[in-house]
Amino acid sequence: MQADESSHQAMGYDRASTVFSPDGRLLQVEYARKTIKAGSTAVGITCKEGVLILADKRVVEKLIVGKSVEKIFQIDEHIGASVSGISSDGRILIEKAQVAAQQHRVTCSSPISTESLVKDICNTKQMYTQVGGARPFGVSLMFMGVGDSSHIFVTDPTGTFFEYKATAIGEMDDEVKEILNKEYKENMTLDQALKLAMTSLKKTLGDNFNIGRIDGSYISSKDKTLKKFTSEELTKATK
């Protein structure tokens, strides 16, 4: 642990999310980011035919029913999301996003844009960085959606979000991003994007990789409907 962080702890600057340290840091928010770094890995890629997310379910106990571990969630017909960090925090935000998407359909008679939904979730995240007696959400959400074009957005505990062509979250995000930076191409097909995402997870997980712990979904630009990859499609992408 760095000396300045240790001294900040000793002086109590990390005891509340509303207290700034002398150098302008919110230590509880930084701790939340470290929680995300310990979470399972998810990869998102946009391409000319749509967008996809692959996520490591990280099922380590043999007696756990694999289907009960869900890492990619449907928010609306045209939007999906994955989480990394504290799963229960992610569940709360996923449910909030699902309600917001349905409320927009009822109120406006049209599907919500991915960016508008992401902003709504980030507003909630930001609020929890300035409320006494509450801690920041220890989770990063990766949203994928298709409207006029394909989108990947990633949110962090501060309520900040960025849009990416391809990216990763979780414990091995740096290694995956290095692979994506070298091999990603904007004119990729969905099959090529799936193969790249699977290859990046296979390389980073190493001996721990197996198809049973991978969850994957995609949204095609044609029908704009979220669908899950079958185990056969995922297996084919590893060859």
Half-sphere exposure for 56 (CA within 13 Å, toward CB): 30
Which residues form the domain of 87? 44-60+73-233
Task: Name the amino acid, one letter, at 10.
Answer: A
Task: Give domain status of residue 2, yes or no.
Answer: no
Residue 105: give its domain's CATH number.
Answer: 3.60.20.10
Task: Give domain status of residue 176, yes or no.
Answer: yes
The tens-digit pLDDT sequence of the chain (239 residues) is 455 666 655 456 677 777 788 887 888 888 899 999 999 999 999 999 999 999 999 877 778 777 778 899 999 999 999 999 999 999 999 999 999 999 999 999 999 999 999 999 999 999 999 887 888 999 999 999 999 999 999 999 999 999 999 999 999 999 999 999 999 999 999 999 999 999 999 999 988 888 888 999 999 999 999 999 999 999 999 98
Task: Give domain status of residue 31, yes or no.
Answer: no
Task: Give domain status of residue 67, yes or no.
Answer: no
Burial class of 197 by CB neighbour count within 10 A (0 to 12, 13 to 18, 19+): buried
